[in-house]
Amino acid sequence: MKTTAAICRHLRTKKMYMDSLAAEAFMDKPAENASPCHVWCNLTQSVKGEDDRLVHKDTCVPGRACFEE
């Protein structure tokens, strides 16, 4: 069984706020017709986290200074 990697609780995408897309917001394989989504940090309200690095589902993970599970 594959486990999903932890993603920072402050990472956001518009898909999270749309019922029909929320389940696939940070999935490894989104639906075929899904377009890439814009993500931001909820703490900074920016595409950069508190550590001044770009946010992304693959980089906002344990080990990053500003990460919160």
Give the DSSP per-residue string, 29-61. Answer: S--TTPPP--EEETTTTBSB-TTSSB--TTTSS
Q: What is the pTM of this model?
A: 0.69
pLDDT in tens, 20-48: 666 666 665 555 545 557 899 999 999 99
Contact status, residue 28 vs residue 57, Cβ threshold 8 Å? no
> Do 68 and 8 form a contact (C-beta atoms < 8 A)?
yes
Tally of CB atoms within 10 A around 8: 21
At 6, is the secondary structure helix, strand, or coil?
A: coil
Give the pLDDT band of residue 7 (cuts 50, 70, 90).
confident
